Amino acid sequence: MIVVSRDIVGEWFRAQASLGEDTDIHFGHVDAPGGPPVWTPVSHQRFDGVGGFVKLLRETGHTVDAMPELKDERTPRLFRVVHAWARYLFRRRPTYRWAPLPASTVEGAPPAMATHVFDEDATRAVAASAKSLGITVNTLLLDRLTRVIRRTILGRPRSVSWMIPINMRGGVKLADEMTNHSSFLEISVVEGEAATALQQRVRQAVADHQHWAFWYSFQAGRYFGMVGRRLFMKASIFGRSHWVGSFSNLGVWNPVAEGAHPYAWFFCPPPVPSQPFGVGCVTYQGRLSLTLQAHSSIAADASVAARWLREIVEEIQRGDR
Q: How far apart are CA 267 and CA 289, in angstroms?
A: 8
Q: How far apart are CA 25 and CA 230, in angstroms?
A: 20
CATH architecture type of domain 2-317: 2-Layer Sandwich (3.30)
Phi and psi at 160, nearest 5°, equal -125, 125
11-66 confidence digits (pLDDT tens): 999 999 999 999 999 999 999 998 889 999 999 999 999 999 999 999 999 999 99
Mean pLDDT of the region 289-317: 92
Predicted local distance difference test score (pLDDT) of residue 105: 44
pLDDT interval class at 290 (50, 70, 90): very high
- With beta carbons less than 8 A apart as the criterion, state whether 249 and 267 touch: no
- With beta carbons less than 8 A apart as the criterion, state whether 13 and 45 touch: yes
Q: Is residue 310's pLDDT more than 70?
A: yes
Predicted local distance difference test score (pLDDT) of residue 224: 84
List, in order, residues 6 or more apart from 29 with CB less than 8 Å away: 37, 38, 60, 262, 263, 264, 265, 266
222-278 confidence digits (pLDDT tens): 888 888 989 988 988 888 888 999 999 999 999 998 888 999 999 999 999 899 999
Predicted local distance difference test score (pLDDT) of residue 152: 92
Predicted local distance difference test score (pLDDT) of residue 318: 85
**Mean pLDDT value across the chain:** 89
Predicted local distance difference test score (pLDDT) of residue 2: 85
Predicted local distance difference test score (pLDDT) of residue 255: 95
72-110 confidence digits (pLDDT tens): 656 666 666 666 666 666 566 788 998 876 554 444 445
List, in order, residues 6 or more apart from 1 with CB less than 8 Å away: 73, 75, 170, 171, 172, 173
pTM attached to this predicted model: 0.93
DSSP state of 64: -
The domain segmentation of the chain, as residue ranges, is 2-317
109-124 confidence digits (pLDDT tens): 457 899 999 999 999 9
- Nearest-5° Cα angle at 229, 42 to 16: 30
Q: How far apart are CA 30 and CA 25, in angstroms?
A: 17
Q: Is residue 184's pLDDT more than 90?
A: yes
124-180 confidence digits (pLDDT tens): 999 999 999 999 999 999 999 999 999 999 999 999 999 999 999 999 999 999 999
